[in-house]
Homo-oligomer: A and B are copies of this chain.
Amino acid sequence: MKRFEKKATIKDIARMGGVSISTVSCALNDSPKVRPEKRDLIQSIARQLNYVPHDLARGLVTGNSRTIGLNIGIGDNPYLVKISDKIIHIARENGYGVLTSIWQDDESRKKDLNMFIQKSLNGIISGPIFGGYDSTLENIYNNHSIPMVMIGNSEYMKIPQIGVDFRKAIFLVTEHLIKLGHKEIGYLCMPQTAADWLGGFKDSLLEYSVKYFPEWCIEGLGTLKEGYDKMKLLLKSASPLPSAFVCHNDLCACGALRALNEAGLKVPLDMSLTGVDNIEAGMYCTPSLTTVNLKEEDFAIQVFNQLKKQIEFTADHKMMNLPNILIEPELIVRESTSPYKGRKTK
């Protein structure tokens, strides 16, 4: 076939092979109803004509687009990039195309989800949503019979969820610092979800009877810039400084590290520092980051599997109740934390 020639259809094959359209369809789908010799003949004609099945037509009649939608807010975080990457990969291995949308605000998110509905996707993966209630997503879920899983976790939402036990993650790093002898610990926490993760932080302090200093608990997004900016702010205002600092992810920890370096402070000598996510950058920065492994590969697999289950259930017109899943975090100790050796004054 040359450029600008019209595509061959099942009809062309039928004409050429002197058989009916339905026979061609069966033959191409390897149905046992068609005689092997005829099947081979038809398939060879198809090959000869450079035939490519027309998924739109097929989808229209079967009601199956063999495509899922991934609607994710990566916000520059390599952890979410990895998860997306992996999901796309697994989906492809399972024969699904992945329509991807990356949202930055709620409005674009809504538009994208509506587009997803129009395209009769087999299912939707959306996230991350940590805590709170997202009406956009829940409306889509309730108003359309479409399989969906949500990345994140929120007790207020009825959509099947795959999340990470962030509370536990924060607990782990905090506990680690406390066990190293630190007693003055700061925390850079997410604005929206402060409550739950902050809970992990406080739990840990409480369990080991360490005092909580609200003035060292700063809100900031999980980006390099925010980690840098907020740490700089802390360095300007606080003296003496906390001897250890918990960042809510590796990315902002790297930013904070930069701010500390600029101020001439050594990590971990002058201040221990921890992240969460176990991104590659945290392994190769100096000092390498103590962090929490959130097993992105496992995560992605679980996400896809839950969606697949739902797709199958829905196809069978069965109702199902999928349990929410929480990925268990795992502490990884590296160079950015060390035993307490006193606090630094500016």
A112→B100 CA distance, assembly (Å): 15
Could you say which of B76, B88, B280, B317 contacts A280, with CB atoms under 8 Å apart?
A: B76
Q: Is there an interface contact between B4 and A119, defined as CB atoms closer than 8 Å?
A: no
**A7 CB → nearest B CB, Å:** 8
Within 8 A of B (CB), among A209-260: 224-225, 228, 254-255, 257-258
Copies in the complex: 2
Asked whether A102 and B85 contact (CB < 8 A) given A142-B3, A285-B258, the answer is yes
* Choice from B55, B111, B317 contacting A118 with Cβ under 8 Å: B55
Stretch of A37-45, A57-65, A179-187, A292-300 that contacts chain B: A57-65
Q: Are A88 and B102 in contact (CB under 8 A)?
A: yes
A143 touches B101 (CB 8 A): no
Task: Compute how far the CA of A134 lies from the CA of B279 in the bound complex, rounded to whole angstroms.
Answer: 32
Contacts of A167 in B (CB 8 A): none
Selecting from A15-23, A27-35, A46-54, A123-131, the interface stretch reads: A46-54
A114: chain B residues at CB < 8 Å are: 52
25 pairs, A vs B, C-beta closer than 8 Å: A1-B143, A1-B144, A2-B142, A50-B143, A52-B114, A52-B118, A52-B144, A54-B60, A54-B120, A55-B120, A56-B59, A56-B120, A76-B280, A78-B81, A92-B112, A97-B99, A97-B119, A98-B100, A98-B101, A99-B100, A224-B281, A225-B280, A254-B284, A258-B286, A286-B286
- Beyond contacts A5-B145, A67-B119, A89-B104: 19 other A-B pairs, Cβ-Cβ < 8 A, are A2-B142, A4-B145, A50-B143, A54-B60, A54-B120, A55-B118, A55-B119, A74-B81, A78-B78, A85-B102, A89-B102, A97-B99, A224-B281, A224-B284, A228-B284, A254-B281, A257-B284, A285-B285, A286-B286
